[in-house]
Structure 1
């Protein structure tokens, strides 16, 4: 029986890395994308191989609107070469960057970068990969808790993620005839290098978030990867078009 295969964008670090490893631990092979740190991607591939899985890292720069088609073409070749397959099973749209800027000071360049990566990238990369996704497969789009609660400085970033959450419901509706379920995972504040690592490295910010979280601490990557993997499992096959927040209860 062929093993299932997942694509995790931005799988070389942070939440994407954790999700890739959680999937590998469940016996799922992984194609992960990286933007520039090939060494970090290679390290994740090595970790997955130690778990007994098969993995491959492909370069993808979602800030480049012309990248979607070439990446899909590379995936098609990789599936044929490494798995003797024409389809993969799961897509995790995780890749992203953080921009912290007050609304009044957000530049068009910052806005365009966020659009290209967080919305246009998710929209058109998913579109490009549709012919390669197996019927009955699943898609998880990574959003943010900031679409439910508002913190100054994240207007543009959260707006893009809000658009992805709407897109998730439309994808679920339109891909339903193929048996493809589409959901959103919305992490709260997590200790990673995202956005310059402020949540992880700034003790004052970390303590504030912990004080506003029902479980009394800031999230860790290990808190999110398992949620993504669980949504892709058969146990959650009837969960569709949903936003699942994994924030430990921030601002409840």
Structure 2
């Protein structure tokens, strides 16, 4: 049994923290190289555009590019090849893939009432990419899978009759104990980083609160423990604290 525990400890020690999130300076454990991440982002972006109706040469599409470029300027990532596209989709969503590939769905335009609110959601999505949240989630999945494999090895040799029970408990434990809280933490971190980005780009950060209030209208609060995203009330309260801190430091 001891040798398996040593193997597990050695495994985690070899994959120490390799990255720091911008602005929050949180230590991150990431096993995916930046080159791999950029390649995956490029491939996913190309696949997305092939399946989507991209809107060009409209007032809205030009606005998306203009806002995106202003944010990209303050990000100042030379390894990013920025692209900003408006895609016809009724979902209220947007995303940014590694490498600065930003897609905004037309559905979000009904919620983002002005440029500052559009900058809120775009900065939030860009923050996810800057903080390498996708690569971090992939690493978490790899570690969770590796720990489960080691657990099966131990139980298989020491107590095989408990293997099925272990798998059921481990799946539930990682989902609700690790992966979902991890998702909520990343969402909150993207909110915080995003507020800093839009502030540096010259946008009104008070409009971020209005945007998330718009997003929460008509929605029932979910049980936060069972969600990958923080509740609207939690999110708005946290963003308000970030805004107040920025204003305080501005004085």
Give the alignment's TM-score, normalised by structure 1: 0.31
Higher-strand-fraction structure? 1
Larger gyration radius, structure 1 or structure 2: 2
Give the alignment's TM-score, normalised by structure 2: 0.31
Higher-helix-fraction structure? 2
